[in-house]
Amino acid sequence: MVDKIKKIYKNNPDLIIKNISDDVTIVYFESICSSDRINEFVTKPLIYENKVSAPHIIYIKENEIEKYLNNAFAIIISSNNNLCAAEVRGDLSRSIDSPETEPSINGPKDALTENIQLNLGLIKRRIKTKDLKIINKSIGKYTDTLVQVLYIKKEENKKIVKRVLDNLDEINISGIIDSSNISNALQEKVKSDFPTIMPSERPDEISNALIEGKIVILVDNSPFALITPSYFTDFINPVVDRYSKAIPSNFIKAIRYLCLIITLIEPAFYIATINYNQETIPTSLLINFMIQREGVPFPSVAEAIIMLIIYEMLRESDIRFPSKYGTAISILGALILGDAAVKAGIVSPIMIITIAICFISSLVFTNQDFSNSLRIYRFLFLLGAAILGLYGILLVFLYFLIKLCSTYTLDRSYTIPIAPYKEKYFYKYIWRKREK
Amino acid sequence: MKIKKLIIIFVILITTGCFNYVEINNLVIVSGIGIDYKDNKYVVTFENLYQNKESSDSNFATGITKTATGDTIANAFDNITLSLEKNPYYAHLKVVIISSEIANNHLDELFDFFLRNNDIRNIFSLVISKDITPQEIFNSSSKYYPVVSERIKNLLENNIYSNYISKNKYFKNIASNYLSGEKNITLSSIYKKDDELILGNLFVFDKKKVVGSLNQEQALILSIIDNNKPSSIIKVPCKIDSDKKLVIRIYESKTKFSIKKNEYKITNNLSAEIIENSCNINLENKESQKHITDNFEKEISNQTIDLINYLKIINSDILGINNKYFVKYRSKNSNYFKDKNFKVDTILNINKKGLIFEVKNDNE
C-alpha cells in the first residue's frame, strides 16, 4: 500500500511517510498538516499506547486516500492494509483582521478570513437561531472546494434558496480559487451590466443580509462571502449607515446619490455644455473656461477621454503596486497630471478639476464590480455627450434606466425598493426614518 | 431587429438637430450689440468678450468692439463677421443699444430681425442711447469697467427698485407688447456725462415711435399703477417749513382698473411705511396720522392724474387701457384711453410708522 502511495505521489516532496513501527506507517502532507498535532494525536499515542487519539478519526477505504490526504488528514496504514485517517490540520489561516475593502468608523471591526469554519463562526456568533440553515457543497473538479449556503429558514425565501442551490449544482468549472469564481459563474446567466451578487467581508453585513431573508454563500479559502439577491441600492448604501443616527445618515445617503450622479454624468455634462449648450453656462464662467482652454491642442472630448484613461491607469497601478511605492505614484500623479500637464498645455485645469471630482465621487463606492459598471456608463455618457450634447446624455440616461429596470436578481427586480416599491426596505436603506 | 436599431440611430443622429458641435475656443461671445442708422445704412457694433491680458488677474474679460455697416441689419451683421476670427456667439447677449433714429423710424425692422434670428436668445435688455451713438457708448470702456454691456446690464438691474426709469424688461416681453399692441412700450435710455454712463429718462412710445419721456417722479407713479415696484418713495413738504419733507415708502401696491363705457377708474390700494419724519409730526396722535394719510392720498392721486393727462396728450397707452376695454366689451376702441374721462382713487394705509414716535415739537 505504501509503495502504491509513493508511486502516485512521486513528485510531491511534501509527502511524508513515517514508519512508527514494523506494523504501522503514517502518511501525510507536511505542507497542510500540523507537525505538533501529528506528534500529539498520532505519533505519541501510537508509540506509547498503540492507539490514535485525534479528535477526528475515521476508517477509510483505499479509494478515499487521495481525498483525505488532500484534506489534511494523516493516513495510518497497518500491516494488514487497514486504513484509518486522523485529522491533523495545520493552522494555515491568518488571524481575524479588520475589514480592508469596507472600512467603517462605527460598527464591528472584524472581517472574514480564508478559513471557512472561522468565517462561519463569526456569523454564528451573531445569529443564534436554529433556523439558520447551512448546506454544504463541493465545487470544482480539481479544487473540490467547500461551499456553504447559509440562509434563515423563512417562507419568503424558500424559492430563491432552491434556485441558488440549483444554480450552484449547475456550475461545472475546474477550480474555485475564490468566491468571485462562484459569483461570476452565477452571474453569467444574468445578462446585466450591474453586479447582482454582492461580495462582503463584514460579518455584520452578512448577518444583516441573512436576517433580511437573503442568501449567503461562503467559500473555503476566500475572505469574501457572497450575498444574493443584491439590489442596486445595496451597492450604494452600506449596512454601516445603520450604526449612526437617522438624520446624519440620511444626509450621507443623499451625498452618495449625488456622488452617483456626479461620477456618471459630470464629465459628460461638462463636454455637452461647453461644446453644444454654451448658453447654459454663466457668461463669466464661460469666459473662464475659454481662457483655461486657450492653447490646449486637443478637442475637449479627446482631452476628457485621455484624462479619464490616465486616471484609470493611476488607480489600477495604485491597487496593484506594493503600498510602499504608493507615495511615489501619488507624487508622480499629482505632479505630472496636476501641474506639469497644465503648464505644458496638454490639458486644461478645468478638465483636471472635472475628472478629479468625478473620481473622488467614484471612490464612495467600494464595490469593485459596481465601480466597473459605473465606469462603462461614464464612458457611454461621455460618448453620448460628445455626439449629441445634453440630448445625448438624456438618451444614454434612458438606456441606463432601461438596463437597470430590466435587470433581475433571482427573479426579483434589481430596482427594489423603488420599483416595485417596498416600503420597509425603502425606509431601511434609501431614506431612514427617525427611530421613535 | 438590426434594421430597426440602425433606423433608430439614423433618426437620432439626423433629425434631432443637435449635430452642432463647436469648441468654445472657436467662439467669440457677443455681449452687447449697438444698432444705429446713418446715411441710409445700418451701423452695427458688437462688443465681444476677450481675455483681459492687461489685467493682473488674467481671468477677467474685456470688451473689444467691432463695427460694420450694411444696407440691412442682417447685411451689417454679416459684414461684421468679416473682421471676426471666430464665430460670434449670441446666447450670452446682455444688452442691445439702439439710437434714437432706430427707435423712431426702424423699430419694425429691428423687431423683425431679432425675432427671426434663431441664434439670438430674446432675453437681453433693449436700451436707447440718448445724444450719443451706440458705438460711442461701447467705446467708453475703462480700466475699471472693461465690459460696457455688463455695466449697463448692472445699471439696469441695480436701479430697478430705486430709480423707476430703469425698465429691465426682456426683449421678448417688449416685442410681445409692441407686436400685439396690448400696451405701448417704454424703454430705458442711457447717456454719457463726464465719461460716466448714466440712466436717462424713460422713453415712451406710441404705436411706432418715441413720443415722449417720463422723468423719475412720473416713472415712480407709473411703477405704482403698474403694480411692479414694491418700493416706491413718495414725499410731501411739511406744512410749516416747506423745505423739509415727510417721506413714505410704498412697499405694496394693488391697483385696480374699473372700465366702464364712458369712463375708467384707477384705484390705488397702497401699503406704506414712514421712512423720514423731518416735520416732527407726533405719529402717536391719531388725528396727525389721518392728516398725513389724507395728504399723501391727495398727493398720489394728483400725481397720477398728471401722469394720465400727460400720456393722453402724447397719446401713449402704456397702461394698456384700450386693451382692457377690448377684453371687457369685445369691441375695439383705439381712442378710449385718450377720449374718455377717468377718476383716480387712492387708499393709503401707513401701517409701519417706525420706532421713533417721540418728537420735540408737534408741528402739524
Q: What is the CATH number for B223? A: 3.30.300.210
In a domain, B296, yes or no: yes
* Same domain membership, residue B223 and residue B192: no
Contact residues, chain A, for B13 at CB < 8 Å: 387-388
Beta-carbon separation of B18 and A392 below 8 A: yes
Angle at A419 between CA A417 and CA A420, to 5 degrees: 80
pLDDT at residue number B98: 96
Beta-carbon separation of B91 and A278 below 8 A: yes
pLDDT at residue number B229: 57
Question: Closest to B31 (Cβ–Cβ): which among A274, A283, A289?
Answer: A283
pLDDT at residue number A53: 80
Which residue shows C-alpha cell 364712458?
B262
In a domain, A417, yes or no: yes
d(CA A115, CA A62): 28
* Same domain membership, residue B330 and residue B254: yes
In a domain, B1, yes or no: no
d(CA A426, CA B86): 53
* Same domain membership, residue B185 and residue B101: yes
- Cell reading at A157: 425565501
In a domain, A167, yes or no: yes
> Where would I find the beta strands (DSSP E) of chain B?
27-38, 41-51, 61-70, 87-89, 95-98, 125-129, 186-193, 196-199, 202-205, 210-214, 232-237, 245-259, 263-277, 341-352
pLDDT interval class at B289 (50, 70, 90): confident
* Same domain membership, residue B264 and residue B191: no
Tens-digit pLDDT profile for residues A355-402: 999 999 998 998 888 999 999 999 999 999 988 889 889 999 999 999
Count of CB atoms situated within 10 Å of the CB of B160? 19
In a domain, A111, yes or no: no
pLDDT at residue number A295: 82
pLDDT at residue number A378: 94
CB proximity B85 to A under 8 Å: no
If one counts the domains in chain B, the total is 2
In a domain, A103, yes or no: no
Domain boundary among B179, B214, B249: B214
Domain boundary among A180, A207, A230: A230
Tell me if A119 sits within 8 A of A113, measured CB to CB: yes
pLDDT above 90 for B301? yes
d(CA A20, CA A417): 65
* Same domain membership, residue B166 and residue B44: yes
pLDDT at residue number B102: 94
d(CA A357, CA A258): 12
If chain A, 436 residues long, is cut into consecutive pieces of 10 residues, what is the mean pLDDT of each piece? 81 84 86 86 84 83 85 84 85 82 86 90 90 91 90 88 91 89 86 89 93 92 92 89 87 94 95 90 88 86 89 82 71 74 85 91 90 93 90 92 91 89 86 75
Could you give the 3-state DSSP secondary structure of residue B293? helix
Domain boundary among A195, A230, A265: A230
Sign of CA dihedral A202, A207, A209, A215: positive
Q: Which domain holds residue A222?
A: 116-230
pLDDT at residue number A436: 60
Q: Return the minimum-mean-pLDDT range out of A210-219, B138-147, B299-308.
A: B138-147
- Cell reading at A72: 489534511
Beta-carbon separation of A286 and B12 below 8 A: no
Once rounded to an integer, what is the mean pLDDT over residues B232-236? 76
Cα A350 to Cα A342, A357, B56: the distances in Å are 10, 11, 20
Which residue shows C-alpha cell 416685442?
B175
pLDDT at residue number A287: 87
pLDDT interval class at B357 (50, 70, 90): low
Tens-digit pLDDT profile for residues A75-99: 888 888 888 888 888 877 788 888 8
In a domain, A235, yes or no: no
In a domain, B8, yes or no: no
* Same domain membership, residue B226 and residue B149: no
* Same domain membership, residue A265 and residue A128: no
CB proximity B13 to A under 8 Å: yes
- Cell reading at A17: 511517510
In a domain, A436, yes or no: no
Tens-digit pLDDT profile for residues B151-170: 999 888 888 777 677 776 88
Q: Which domain holds residue B133?
A: 23-214
Give B61→chain A minimum CA distance, Å: 7
* Same domain membership, residue B263 and residue B237: yes
Once rounded to an integer, what is the mean pLDDT over residues B129-157? 90
Tell me if B77 sits within 8 A of B59, measured CB to CB: no
pLDDT above 90 for B74? yes
* Same domain membership, residue B175 and residue B42: yes
pLDDT at residue number B165: 72
In a domain, B150, yes or no: yes
Give the residue from chain B lying closest to A386, CA to CA.
B21
pLDDT above 60 for B364? no
* Same domain membership, residue B205 and residue B174: yes
pLDDT at residue number A1: 77
Cα B44 to Cα B33, B114, B126: the distances in Å are 7, 13, 15
* Nearest by Cα to A31 from A101, A107, A89, A82: A89
Domain boundary among B214, B248, B278: B214
Question: Closest to A275 (Cβ–Cβ): which among B22, B31, B94?
Answer: B22
Beta-carbon separation of B24 and A289 below 8 A: yes
* Same domain membership, residue A248 and residue A340: yes
In a domain, B240, yes or no: yes
d(CA A157, CA A210): 10
* Same domain membership, residue A258 and residue A197: no
In a domain, B17, yes or no: no
If one counts the domains in chain A, the total is 3
Pairing of strands B196-199, A215-219: unpaired
pLDDT above 60 for B319? yes
* Same domain membership, residue A189 and residue A269: no
* Nearest by Cα to A195 from A415, A409, A433: A409
Beta-carbon separation of A279 and B23 below 8 A: no
Pairing of strands B196-199, B186-193: antiparallel
* Same domain membership, residue A268 and residue A392: yes
Question: Closest to B59 (Cβ–Cβ): which among A291, A293, A387?
Answer: A291
Task: Choose between B223 and B12: higher pLDDT.
Answer: B223
In a domain, B362, yes or no: no
pLDDT above 70 for B57? no
pLDDT at residue number A41: 85
Across chain A, how many H-helices and E-strands are there?
A: 18, 12
pLDDT interval class at B56 (50, 70, 90): low
B residues 18..47 contacting A (CB < 8 A): 18-25, 27, 29, 31
Domain boundary among A67, A87, A107: A87
pLDDT at residue number A326: 64
Cα B129 to Cα A116, B152, B200, B213: the distances in Å are 85, 11, 9, 13
In a domain, A79, yes or no: yes
* Same domain membership, residue B196 and residue B264: no
pLDDT above 60 for B230? no
In a domain, B15, yes or no: no
- Cell reading at A215: 442568501
* Same domain membership, residue A247 and residue A220: no
In a domain, A109, yes or no: no
* Same domain membership, residue B263 and residue B185: no
Task: Choose between B24 and A267: higher pLDDT.
Answer: A267
pLDDT at residue number B358: 59
* Same domain membership, residue B144 and residue B59: yes
Count of CB atoms situated within 10 Å of the CB of B316? 23
pLDDT at residue number B359: 57
Tens-digit pLDDT profile for residues B328-338: 999 888 889 88
Count of CB atoms situated within 10 Å of the CB of B165? 24
Domain boundary among B193, B214, B235: B214
d(CA B349, CA B249): 11
* Same domain membership, residue A128 and residue A77: no
* Same domain membership, residue A253 and residue A213: no
Question: Closest to A286 (Cβ–Cβ): which among B20, B29, B58?
Answer: B29
Beta-carbon separation of B21 and A275 below 8 A: yes
pLDDT at residue number B93: 94
* Same domain membership, residue A269 and residue A126: no
Cβ within 8 Å of residue B342, ≥6 positions away? B263, B264, B265, B266, B308
Q: Which amino acid is at A363?
A: L
pLDDT above 70 for B354? no
Residue A162 CA to chain centroid, in angstroms? 23
d(CA B290, CA B281): 12
